[in-house]
Amino acid sequence: MKSKIITWVALIAVAVVSTASVSQMKKIKYSVKKMDSTWFVVDERNRPLPIEANRKDDIEWSAEGSDLLFQFPDKLSVFFTKEDGSTVGDSYYIEVKDGKKLKLKVKQDAPVGRFVYSILVKKDGTYAEGSSPPVIIIR
């Protein structure tokens, strides 16, 4: 009887810890779109704010109106994995077609800091503005 109680307590503890870990991860959604005559990287409320992410968070960018070319300050594999945890490769850039989404997960061991990245808007041959230039802050 005593061992059954200990087992149940252990299972409950594992469930509580697992639930707490999952609830701390968040999905961050941004869009790249033209507003007036300027391309912006904006949050869900159309604000050009820096992306603030923690390790293990999911970040999603939507391409609205043009194919995009994202360029990061280091290899993608330094910062991200795909949503399913598989590798994104060692490129510094990734292309996203108009109407599609770029979905990446911040790696558990991603460097902490403030990182400037760029997004080339192919349709107009210009760069999207965000927090001028776009910034990701990883904590």
Per residue in 97-126, pLDDT (tens digit) is: 999 999 999 999 999 999 999 999 999 999
Q: Please write the tens of the pLDDT for every residue from 56-89.
A: 999 999 999 999 999 999 999 999 999 999 999 9
pLDDT at 11: 34
The pLDDT value recorded for residue 90 is 92
Average pLDDT, stretch 22-49? 91
Residue 33's nearest CA partner among 98, 105, 85, 93 is: 98
Q: For residue 116, which of 139, 131, 130, 136 has the smallest C-alpha distance?
A: 136
CA dihedral 47, 106, 57, 10 (to 10 degrees): -170
pLDDT the model gives residue 2:
52
**What CATH topology corresponds to 26-138?**
Immunoglobulin-like (2.60.40)
Q: pTM of the full predicted structure?
A: 0.79
Are the CB atoms for 52 and 30 separated by under 8 Å? no
- Token pair 């850039």 in the structure block, residue: 93
What per-residue confidence (pLDDT) applies to 133? 78
Q: Which pLDDT does position 79 carry in this prediction?
A: 96
